[in-house]
Amino acid sequence: MIRLQRDLGTAYLFISHDLSTVRFLSHRVAVLYLGVIVEEAESEELFARPLHPYSVGLLASVLLPDPVLKRASAITLEGEIPSPIDLPPGCSLAGRCPFADAQCRLEPPRAIAVGPTHRVRCYHHDRVAALDQTVDHFDRFQADSNKLLSVGAGLSTSR
Ligand code: SF4
């Protein structure tokens, strides 16, 4: 798929729960939760600086390509996923989000621009930004992804 994308200039709409594959294939990523885009950014930006609690939780679940690497989990999402046919009145993640407050439960947040190509739908994205998400080795995963995207070849095993 990467070779076709490179050689033919083809665009894909690729839908997956596997963010490691999404990272390999995508230039731009939209994160959906219960049918709503909660965050959208260039792939590199979203993986390096996720600003929505759901994006952070998803990234923490990515399997890294080395058994000794482990991504730190800055946010744990617990609780039940609401029924898509009976959503709560405010933010759909409020029942699972550690930052949820009364405002979150009252009204769904609008998408706001947090960068030239980065939009997020969360009242407290600044609190997510303040989390320490640097204590892991995800940069190596990103470096391998970049190599694959730039040459369309397999992963390098060099460190
Ligand atoms: S709007 Fe509130 S409940 Fe929804 S993701 Fe942001 S902090 Fe969590």
Residues in contact with ligand 1 (CB, 6 Å cut-off): 53, 91, 93-94, 97, 99-100, 104, 109, 122-124
Confirm whether 158 is domain-assigned.
no
Is residue 159 a part of any domain in this protein?
A: no
- Which candidate, 43, 77, 30, places its Cα nearest to that of 58? 77
Q: Is 77 part of any domain?
A: yes
Residue 135 CB contacts under 8 Å (≥ 6 apart), including other chains? 72
Q: What does each of the 159 residues of the chain score in pLDDT, given as a tens digit?
A: 878 888 888 888 999 887 777 887 888 999 999 999 999 999 888 988 899 999 988 887 776 666 665 555 667 788 889 998 988 899 999 999 999 999 999 999 999 999 999 999 999 999 999 886 654 445 666 666 666 666 554 444 444
Atom of ligand 1 nearest to the CA of 100: 3
What is the residue range of 54's domain? 2-151
Q: Is residue 90 part of a domain?
A: yes
Q: Taking the model in full, what pTM does it have?
A: 0.80
Ligand 1 atom nearest to 103, measured from its CA: 2
Count the domains in the chain.
1
**36 beta partners:** 33
8 Å CB contact between 111 and 119: yes
**CATH code for the domain of 87:** 3.40.50.300
